[in-house]
Chains A and B, each alone.
Chain A
């Protein structure tokens, strides 16, 4: 096998893995937006909280699998609390207040994280079984990245099943297109909102746990990955899950190959892509024009 091909494939793997993490974060973001019409600026902070809880649970139990389950659940519960006791009270007064409220929540989370864990990078180690490389068809793949891709695909499958095969999913899809109508049909829409918000933040938490071993855990995490997730949602079109998936993968590949070929331009590539898309289609690739 030529060395070039190997390089390309390993870069593609990196890109795919990062794209999957982006998808986990942006899926929650776009779901919450589509449903409730609010852009959760604190979403990136919930993502970062996932990484920190992963570190905390790991250092308490020593088991990565436990933290993979527990950390996102705690994040999701925090999300539910934020929705129930803060956002819901503002819902009647329009979106600007809610948007600004999530800014405040994000700042409080960032400040608390710095108080509890400090500002230095915290390492997270993965269990032995996920370490190292695996040989497949003459090529070597890092197992952990494969694991992230598999994890994201499993979650995607579960999400798809819930959204398209269950009654709850039907209600959620209905509420995305017309929450008032669904409410009028006698369904407790605020409760559904709470569920979706919790689910979205849970997804962000899973994303946080997934990147924790790769990027280490530090307070800048929310800016780094969070901003990319926002760009994904804007480019894909607000509220489009399919768009978020496709654009996440495009951006993951773009960033990994960008670093490979045009290292100086790499951080700007995504924004350039976004600017081109928006110039042609202001609502995003999969966004519906009003």
Chain B
């Protein structure tokens, strides 16, 4: 980047806003922001599959849900369980699920992959409804104790306070997102995009397709589990329809498409845009899905690159020096 100082200032500004956000905007908007961030991470894990590896998952909610249920049930059943192990249990539950499913899923791609994930997502939904002794059926798991975030001698944070929860959630979510971003920049990330663009060539180069897909699937599922786990802690409730419902599988898809599939930050934009639209439309009507459905159709029909594609277009038009090569910009 040529404008390093500008970039540093922008990041500092961004961080400053993040830090003072709760004091600036009050409780209501803080909670909206937490939900937005949870879904931003969730959509990012989804895009890690679709945008970076070309795998379209229609059942991503199963990881989100099992992460939430894992944390909620662990806190409900195990007396005095600290917070971090509870989150780790949720994440591991999601990783386990991904491990169990990946032998079936990595052999297929495209529509078959989408259908299989859809079916397994529904299976998880049914299981969450039927295994009443574990999951509480339709009511879900709620009212479990939430321990403080406690590292001996370093920090002790009572996260039942919404403002403190905000900081806690921001750190966990931002860290997770940074790890995913880091993964996309490694050589492994290049193999991923290779699989998306030309799987056969990647295979010729000597990389094992199924194994690579399995690793991607497990990483994506695990971090979706983190998002679900934070969601359960935030609501102090996780219920089958909320967590495993088909709507929750479609949410990250819509966010990613609206925000832009080909960009890392696309899903985050998408989550912001949809939170905003949700917030606006739910004041006037209960039928939010018709609005989001229409937006989805319009974006796919007329702006398939989504919001980040639009941003890139604008930047290319106004902010690049006249001799810059637009084709180079495209391929980045």
Q: Give me the interface of A with B, judged by CB distance under 8 Å.
A: 33, 37-39, 41, 86, 89-90, 93, 95-97, 99-101, 103-108, 110-112, 114-115, 223, 227, 230-231, 233-234, 238, 264, 267-268, 271, 274-275, 278-279, 282-283
Contact = CB atoms under 8 A, between A and B. Distances in A.
Given A274-B119, A282-B108, A111 B287 contact: yes
B99 interface: no
A95 B290 CA distance: 23
Given A271-B122, A278-B104, A278-B116, A105 B297 contact: yes
Contacts of A93: 304
Contacts of A108: 289-290, 293-294, 297
A101 B297 contact: yes
B127 A39 contact: no
Contacts of A111: 287-291, 293
Interface string B80-115: 000000000000000000000001100110111011
A227 B122 contact: yes
Given A86-B301, A274-B119, A282-B104, A114 B287 contact: yes
Contact of B114 (A99, A101, A264, A279): A99
B123 interface: yes
B301 A115 contact: no
A47 B21 CA distance: 46
Contacts of A230: 115, 118-119
Nearest to B110: A95
A86 B129 CA distance: 36
Given A110-B289, A233-B115, A267 B301 contact: no
Contacts of B287: 111, 114-115
A289 to B, nearest CB: 10
Contacts of B122: 227, 231, 271
Contacts of B50: 96
B114 A39 contact: yes
A104 B111 contact: no
A208 to B, nearest CB: 19
Interface in B242-295: 246, 250, 253-254, 257, 287-294
Contacts of B250: 103, 107
Contacts of A110: 289-290, 293
B175 interface: no
Contacts of B123: 268, 271, 275
A192 B120 CA distance: 33
Contact of B290 (A90, A112, A268): A112
A264 B130 contact: yes
B300 interface: yes
A115 B287 CA distance: 7
B119 A234 contact: yes
Interface in B145-178: none
Contact of B300 (A90, A271, A278, A279): A90
Nearest to B292: A107
Contacts of B119: 227, 230-231, 234, 271, 274
B56 interface: yes
B237 interface: no
B126 interface: yes
A110 B286 CA distance: 13
State the 8 A-B residue pairs at the shortest beta-carbon distance, nearest first: A111-B290, A107-B293, A104-B296, A104-B297, A108-B293, A271-B123, A111-B289, A111-B287
B289 A223 contact: no
B293 A95 contact: no
24 contacts: A41-B58, A89-B301, A95-B111, A97-B304, A99-B56, A100-B253, A100-B296, A100-B300, A104-B294, A104-B297, A104-B300, A108-B290, A108-B293, A108-B294, A111-B291, A230-B119, A231-B122, A234-B115, A238-B111, A267-B130, A268-B123, A271-B120, A279-B103, A282-B108
Given A111-B290, A115-B287, A100 B257 contact: yes
Nearest to A85: B301
A103 B301 contact: no
A233 B297 CA distance: 25
A99 B111 contact: yes
B111 A107 contact: no
A56 B119 CA distance: 32
A73 to B, nearest CB: 24
A191 B136 CA distance: 51
B115 A279 contact: no
Contacts of B115: 39, 230, 233-234, 238
Q: Which of B110, B289, B296, B300 has the most CB of A within 10 A?
A: B300
A101 to B, nearest CB: 5
A267 B128 CA distance: 12
Contacts of A234: 112, 115-116, 119
A132 B74 CA distance: 52
Given A101-B296, A238-B111, 18 more contacts: A37-B111, A41-B58, A90-B301, A93-B304, A97-B304, A99-B111, A104-B296, A105-B293, A106-B293, A108-B293, A110-B290, A111-B291, A227-B122, A264-B130, A267-B126, A268-B123, A275-B120, A282-B107
A234 B50 CA distance: 21
